[in-house]
Structure 1
Amino acid sequence: MPNTLPTPPRALLRQMFDAAVAAAQPALCLPAHLPAPPKGRTMVIGAGKASAAMALALEAHWPGPLEGLVITRYGYQQPCQRIEIVQAAHPVPDAAGLQATRRLLQTVQGLTADDLVIALISGGGSSLLVAPGAGLTLVDKQNVNKSLLASGANISEMNCVRRHLSGIKGGRLGAACYPAQLLTLLISDVPGDSPMDIASGPTVADSTTCADALEIVNRYQITLPAATRQLLESGAGETVKPGDVRLQNSTLRMITAPQIALEAAAKVAQAAGITPYILGDSLEGEARDVAKVLGGMARQVALRGQPFQTPCVLLSGGETTVTLKGQGRGGRNVEFLLALGLALVGTKGIYALAGDTDGVDGVEEIAGALLTPDSLNLAWGLGMNPRHFLDHNDAHSFFQALGDSVVSGPTLTNVNDFRAILIEA
């Protein structure tokens, strides 16, 4: 089928991805949410992949004195002058994150009701804020984090467990700021935009319990160190609950979210004469299962003109999961994309891009990849078996060999995954 689009499919898909990322930049969306300076001190704290960029935007628009400390992922630092930026590891925490978290907790000690704490929280904060619960060690946290990432649990389930094994998540950081006024500025990277799931909710109340966390551990058959299981079984890892007086001076503001990014991508499609359909900003499930469903929809559109007429683009966000079985170089977005290619079985005229808006899919410094109608045939021509790569969770290697990886570098924001399936007329 000849290309019937006014813009080449590859270029249009990348333009949509770039627009989604640009719409979530803190410099664009943060300033409107800033309050007036307080009578006392203004202390800035935060964690996440976007937190340093958020801090830079805050510095540029804050009229008074400012101080504080923010933790971000290695390579995501920004040239702040008054707010200290510390880098640590993601997605598995490290000693730098542990030390930085201790210092961050110290910065909010001794504040008064005249003071203001501005918390800059974005995706990735769960790994960057490292304060093991009572009796736990950094090694315990690292092992649990690795097990959670490989288990197939969704982000809400993983963060429930993380909150109850932490000395800072689940509202504990917010409680430590009392009696100061607390304003939390959030960039959502989770389905449903639940504040307690963004960076595991360090400044917000948590309605889940240790029993909930233990049920998740048992459901996914996650092996826990003895001290970790004891923390959950005893209830000693309980979080700060709704109605806690220490959070009475707390305010939350969501400054950007996956839906906003998808709407920005939709505008790019419309400008190119392509009708966009946003299927949802919170799609979850195993990456390869989501691929089968969206692949089936795309085939129906391409072959039957149902439920949408072509040309069109199917946009979606959310966070899929991958249950690791192989030892390959994988990520949930490229896993989705390779499974999508297999689901489409050579259907003509369908292109797709899937990528993480933070620029990192899995542990690779690669945002995602592009799929074309010829991708699987090209792979076979190179002696590559697509099913083998999927079975071994090795989709990064697959798309890199085709020259179709999407590399954005650090985007300095994070509004979850971006998926676009472009269908020609």
Structure 2
Amino acid sequence: MPTPIAPITTINPRQLLLDMYQSAVDAVSAAKCLPAYLARIPAPTGKGRTLVIGAGKGAAAMAKAVEEHWQGELEGLVVTRYGHGADCKRIEVVEASHPVPDEAGRRAAVRILEMVQGLTEDDLVLCLISGGGSSLLALPAPGISLEQKQAINKALLKSGANIFEMNCVRKHLSAIKGGRLALACAPARVVTLMISDIPGDDPGVIASGPTLADPTTCAEALAVLRKYKIEIPAAILQHLESGQGESAKPGDPRLSRNQYYVMATAQDALEAAAAVASSAGLTPYILSDEMEGEARDIGLAHAALARQIARRGQPFAKPCVVISGGETTVTVRGTGRGGRNAEFLLSLATALDGYPDIHAIACDTDGIDGSEDNAGAIYQPQSMRQAEELGLRPKAMLDNNDGYGFFEALGNLVVSGPTRTNVNDFRAMLIL
């Protein structure tokens, strides 16, 4: 029997979209996802130790879940973003900078490498990895300075490079990523638990794969830098051209005992949000969990789809909710404030231009849109009229990459604070 459609007058669009976002975040939290996977992992026997290491925006929450559910002794250290810590008793939590690495992240990486020295085949290493780990676990390869790596990272973030390209470069400029951390742990058994922020959920790309084999090469990393015309310091050029930066490759026998589990993904989050829409009597449609591309282009495409639904009932009948995830990019050309979700939503807003009965939300599941203090924002049909009354110029603000300023002026920023998880972008359009 089909679910009855709720009368449109009973739906509070803003609250429904916020509830969907919260449900998406809750579904991929460490507290919900980690215990079941932890139960699959055999504890060390005899004199074996359990050492917990990790990095990412969700690393502290993951460490706390391990402490609450692991049966046996453990110790360790994880590094997370400033403000994303958790109250752990046995696992030390260090906070560092994201998205541009800093000295705190470098020191934490050095300490983690020191901790895994001298392990035996009886020992178990639990590695907790989530999005953001690439910047947080920052240890440049020998001969490369932290300042050089910071400059490359900043240039990549502004270039429009996608996450696969950025992490390919990061792996080959690192002393710890691209499987090198797992090699340092050998001969201990390494089990990696991951929350995926990568479109397609490739485990070797999450946080630049510190404990997984890497098929990419120095030549590919160099090609990415040249593709985006990024200035390459002489030390980095020599490091890549010489092949000194090659990562751990598939088939390396030192990795043969290791395992990994991807515990939470964007698809999990989207399905949880879809369930909220269904409970409100609306039909949800998930477009994709791995959308990539320029945020403003994705915004234009979503706006065109929303209008087609509203005007033609194609490809979906209204009322409905259209949901998507993935990781867009922003090529920064202006001086405004705003991450990729605000950029997406401002592009959508300018394209819809007040079209009636279309509402939308775009937020990052980590609670931080880029480097701002908001998770994202909400668009309402009246947003453009309100903007006009305030003297705002939406298209000019989009050209200036100032989505934050636009939605702040309207009072439509979504500020959740750090969620301590991360499966990247969450977008939903409600068409009534």
TM-score (norm 2): 0.97
Q: Distance in 2 between matches of 1:54 and 1:143?
A: 30
What letter corresponds to residue 33 of structure 2 in structure 1? C
Matching of residues 5-404 of structure 1 within 5 Å? 5-34=9-38, 35-39=41-45, 40-404=48-412
Q: Distance in 1 between matches of 2:295 and 2:361?
A: 14
Compare 142-151 and 223-232 and name the one that shifted more. Answer: 223-232
8 Å contact 1:42–1:66 — kept in the other structure? yes
Out of 402, 412, 415, the residue aligned to residue 420 of structure 2 is 412
Q: CA deviation at 1:222?
A: 1.1
**Secondary structure, aligned partner of 1:191:** coil
8 Å contact 1:178–1:249 — kept in the other structure? no
Report the counterpart of residue 3 of structure 2 in structure 1. none
**Secondary structure, aligned partner of 1:211:** helix
What letter corresponds to residue 220 of structure 1 in structure 2? Y
**Secondary structure, aligned partner of 1:196:** coil
Q: CA deviation at 1:92?
A: 0.5
**Secondary structure, aligned partner of 2:200:** helix
**Secondary structure, aligned partner of 2:142:** coil
Q: CA deviation at 1:293?
A: 1.0
What letter corresponds to residue 206 of structure 1 in structure 2? D
**Secondary structure, aligned partner of 2:10:** coil
Report the counterpart of residue 4 of structure 1 in structure 2. 8
What letter corresponds to residue 10 of structure 1 in structure 2? R
Give the 4+ runs in structure 1 shifted more than 4 A.
none
Q: CA deviation at 1:5?
A: 4.8
**Secondary structure, aligned partner of 1:284:** strand
What per-residue deviation string (whole Å, max 9, x for no partner) do you get for residues 350-376 of structure 1?
A: 000000000100110110000011111
What letter corresponds to residue 17 of structure 1 in structure 2? Y
Q: CA deviation at 1:4?
A: 2.2
**Secondary structure, aligned partner of 2:92:** strand
Segments of structure 1 that go 5 or more residues without pairing to the other structure are: none
8 Å contact 1:6–1:272 — kept in the other structure? no
Segments of structure 2 that go 5 or more residues without pairing to the other structure are: 1-6
What letter corresponds to residue 325 of structure 1 in structure 2? R
What letter corresponds to residue 126 of structure 2 in structure 1? I
What is the number of residues matched between the two proteins? Answer: 422
What per-residue deviation string (whole Å, max 9, x for no partner) do you get for residues 378-407 of structure 1?
A: 111111100111000111011001000000
Q: Distance in 2 between matches of 1:109 and 1:193?
A: 30
Q: How has the CA–CA distance of structure 1 residues 302 and 63 changed in structure 2, closer, same or farther, with 3 Å as cutoff?
A: same
